[in-house]
Each structure stands twice: as structure tokens, then as C-alpha cells.
Amino acid sequence: VGSSQADKAANHQRIVKAAAARIRERGVDGVSVVELMKQAGLTHGGFYRHFASRDELVTEAVALALEDGSKVAESAAQTGGEQALLAIINGYLSEVHRDHPESGCAVAALPTEIQRAPDQARAAYTSQVHRYLDLLGQLTPDADPDEAYLILSAIVGGVLLARAVDEPALSRELLERSARALRGRR
């Protein structure tokens, strides 16, 4: 582990990346600085060389998590048209997404915590919601404009409920039937 500025930047990114994952997994308050640094392969001592406070890390990590978690949707959108919308719905309401919040959509991972997070983080969350709505709007050009809102609410709620319940069967039904109902509207 060198000590050049490039290394420092790399470490910084490693910390933020680890935080982005853990925060989606266990929530903003669910992880400590020590834990985060350990995940990044460091000890917690040098933390304040990188961030002025824990809140600053949280802000950066949430931003990364939002960006990172929306890649799926955006790449799906590339395919265009009906296909794109179905890809998003299926991807969002999938077992993979349900079982891997740490690499999934941050909008679905942090809806309750974000209210108590740093202002900047909440603003980033909000603008991500805008982005989703815009995307969904573009993908449903001939539908009622309300439709995008319904889809977003449903996929977010669906995956959240699927994560929350402790019966595998019910969890799967929540994913599949919500998805099917949404697809049925097209």
C-alpha cells in the first residue's frame, strides 16, 4: 500500500464503495466507522484524513449507492420500448434484487432512513426519484402520465415487502404477482 495521492484517492473510493454497500444492507445507522474501514481493508484511525465526519461519508456513500443502484435500470432502458420497461420491472421485482440490497437500488433500500440522513443525501435521493419517474415516463409514452408513479411505487413497495416478510413463499408471491399485475397492464 503506497502513500501517493493516487493511493489516497483509491482508498477514499474503496471506503465509499464499501459504505454504499453496507448502508444499503443494514441501514445508515447499522454500520459503524470501524466496520466500514475494516471492510475497506483499513483501520479506523485514518478515517478523518478522508472525511470531515461520519455524515460526510454517509452523504458520499448514499450518492454512490443511488447512482450505482440505478445502473441496472438505465442499462435496461437502453434497449428501448416495451422491452425496456419489462426488463426494469422484472429486474426490480426479482429474487436477485431482493436478496442483494447491497448492490441493488438505493431508493428501495433507504426510504425510511433517508428522512434522518444528512440533507444533501436526502436531496440526492429525491433527485433520483425524479430520474426514475422521468425514465418510466419515457418508457410509457402512450400511457396515462400517472402510470409512471404507480409503477415506481409498486416496484419499490414490492421489493421492500418481499425483503421484509420471513416466509419464502409469500416473499416470492409478492415479487411475482406484483410483477405480473404490472406487466398485465401493458
Partner DNA sequence: ACCTCCGGGACTCCCCGTTAGT
Partner DNA sequence: ACTAACGGGGAGTCCCGGAGGT
Which residues of the chain form contacts with a second copy (CB under 8 A)? 26-27, 29-30, 107, 109-116, 119, 122-123, 125-126, 129-130, 144-147, 149-150, 152-158, 160-161, 163-167, 170, 173-174, 177-178, 180-182, 184-185
Residue pair 98/120 in contact (Cβ under 8 Å)? The answer is no
Per CB under 7 A, residues contacting DNA are 1-8, 11, 32-35, 37, 42-50, 53-55
Which listed option, DNA, a second copy, none, makes contact with residue 105 (CB within 5 to 8 Å by class)?
A: none
Reduced DSSP (H G I as helix, E B as strand, rest coil) percent helix, strand, coil of the chain, to 5: 80, 0, 20
Q: Burial code of 120-131, b = ≥16 C-beta within 10 A, e = fewer? A: ebbebbeebeeb
Grid coordinates standing for 176?
411475482
Which listed option, DNA, a second copy, none, makes contact with residue 125 (CB within 5 to 8 Å by class)?
A: a second copy
Cell 396515462, located at residue: 144
Q: Which is nearer to a second copy, 11 or 178 (CB)?
A: 178
Which listed option, DNA, a second copy, none, makes contact with residue 142 (CB within 5 to 8 Å by class)?
A: none
